[in-house]
Chain A
Amino acid sequence: MNPTNLLSQILEWMPFVLQGFALNILMSLLAIAIGTMFGTFLGLGQLSPGWIIGAPSKLATQLFRNAPWLVLLFYCIFLMPYQINVGGISIQLPSWLRATIGFSFPVAANFSEIVRGAVKSVPRGQWEAAEALGYSRRSTLFRIILPQCITRMIPPWMNLYALLLTATPLSMIVGVEEALGRTQAAVQAQSDSRVLIPMYLALLAMFFLYTWPINRLSLLLERRFRTK
């Protein structure tokens, strides 16, 4: 077989792999949405002065931040039910959805730290000034501190998303048919060792082309916010 044939053979498999990549993107979008939501609660919880909310929030954040993603993924795959009943309706939980939930835990923990870090980076004087103006702690947080934090949180949040997207192929280990799993299947189906390197390079290129602009933009935004 000559190189042109090799190339066309690889191109033939690309739609199959790209469909898998679409699942990577879907999982990452869902997980970032869920993770950001719970991460916000955890992060604000960490800032709570009382220990009833503060301590569990800190504990959960540290636990899910320091546990390997793959271990959390195993927990969700093996210990979550295949279907759940909500108000008489049974909802199927296919493995890609359980994997997505598995990814949401570390995302939430990391976002919790982003929220805490951003709030802590606001100078103490702002709290004192607001207190002097008669603001309560709660309304200081929501009306004065958080609005300043949003811009500071965007670059690390984008980095977190990029990190999440590059973690999604881990779900292949637990049987999700995403881009890496499909690349492996494609390589096996072709049973030609010459396609190995180009097939994997194509897969790396897919991830790079999606992730690199995100990290790049995050860096630009960070520099822009810093100079302000």
Chain B
Amino acid sequence: MITDIQTFFRELAASGVNLTIFYDAFDFDRFVTGLGNTLLLILASSFFSIVIGAAGAAVLTLSKGPAAAVVRGYVAVFRNTPLLVQMYFFYFAVGSIMPVGQNEIGLPQPLIGSFAWAVISLSLYSGAFNVETFRAGVGAVHSSYEEAALALGYNRRQAFFSVTVPLALRFSFASLANNLVDLTKATTVAYAVGVAELLYVSNQIWSDSLNTIEMMNVMLLIYLVLTGAVVFIINRVEAAMRLPGFGLGDGQ
């Protein structure tokens, strides 16, 4: 079976479409590693960016003091500067003053590697957008729900977490899906700090095998599948959490 596939793609290569990843074990391994790293980047950064977004929106809603000003400043800076420059700033500039450890053979090795910096950078960037998303979700929940909770003796914090948040989440899905699609696309930027993600390994493969067009098309296709998968998953979660008589368009 596997040899059949390899034979097929070898013959295809002979006719001009050279997809080394489907018959060359080395290229295949590189490619799978890249795909795996891309998936890891997406999962880790999505998780942290959602945590950052939720925490930021909670601070903006519950506090009016310096904490809220810090969150607003964070959102403004990360939304209005390039992700790539942010990533370089973390990787090269902040990385230069970070403590350096040693690897197993005694050579200096930074404690935070390029993958970790990429996750930090992507999470902070996407997190800034998620703060706005969740904040807007909270804003979409009519204040009468919070009021009803207050009238039942809940304090502001309890009312926020047990009534406003579950409803706000349901108003946030469309915008969150958008942000996570953007995040998925943005993981390619990690290429620039040398993370061996999909774009990086594809570039290596086409440099070695001189099949630029084929690899680019494969890569593009994979990103379209990945962004489609993100939208599909969010839609499934949204459908699972849909409430009777409560949805977009009717705030009651």
Given a CB threshold of 8 Å, the question of whether A touches B is answered with: yes
A: residues with CB less than 8 A from B are 63, 66-71, 74-75, 78-79, 162, 166-170, 172-173, 180, 184, 187, 193, 196-197, 199-201, 203-204, 207-208, 211-212, 215
B22 at the interface (CB under 8 A from A): no
- What is the chain A residue whose CB lies nearest that of B94? A197
CA distance A79 to B89 in the complex (A): 31
B213 adjacent to A79 (CB under 8 Å): yes
Could you tell me if A173 and B192 are in contact, using CB atoms closer than 8 angstroms?
A: yes
In whole angstroms, what is the CA distance A215 to B224 when docked? Answer: 28
Across the interface, do A71 and B81 meet the contact criterion of CB distance under 8 Å?
no
**A172 to B77, alpha carbons, bound, how many Å?**
21
Partner of B89, one of A66, A70, A173, A204: A204
Measured between C-beta atoms, what is the minimum distance from B74 to chain A in Å?
Answer: 12
Q: Establish whether residues B82 and A169, one from each chain, have CB atoms under 8 Å apart when the complex forms.
A: yes
Q: A66-B227, A204-B89 are in contact. Are A169 and B84 (CB under 8 A)?
A: yes
Closest Cβ neighbor of B95 among chain A residues: A196
From A63, A197, A207, A208, contact of B93 by CB (8 A): A197
Specify which chain B residues have a CB less than 8 angstroms from the CB of A69 in the assembled complex.
Answer: 185, 188
How many inter-chain contacts with C-beta < 8 Å in the A-B complex? Answer: 101
With A68-B223, A200-B85, A203-B85 in contact, is A215–B79 under 8 Å at CB? yes
Tell me the bound Cα distance from A212 to B79 in angstroms.
8
Q: Which secondary structure dominates where chain A touches chain B?
A: helix
* A169-B186 Cα distance, complex, nearest whole Å: 13
Taking a contact as CB atoms closer than 8 A, the residue among A70, A184, A204 that contacts B188 in the complex is A70
Write 7 A-B pairs (CB below 8 A) sorted by A numbering. A66-B224, A79-B213, A168-B82, A169-B82, A173-B84, A197-B97, A211-B81
A168's nearest neighbour on chain B, judged by CB, is B82
Given A66-B224, A70-B188, A180 contacting B88 (CB threshold 8 A): yes
Closest CB in chain A relative to B186 CB, distance in Å = 7
Taking the closest CB of chain A, its distance from the CB of B219, in whole angstroms, is 6
The CA of A74 and the CA of B206, in the complex, are separated in Å by 12
| Minimum CB–CB distance for B113 against chain A, Å | 18
Chain A residue, CB-CB nearest to B224: A66
Q: B80 an interface residue at 8 Å Cβ cutoff? A: yes
Contact (Cβ within 8 A) A207 B185: no
Contact A67 B96, beta carbon cutoff 8 Å: no
Of the candidates A78, A167, A207, which one forms a contact with B216 in the assembled complex, judged by CB atoms under 8 Å apart?
A78
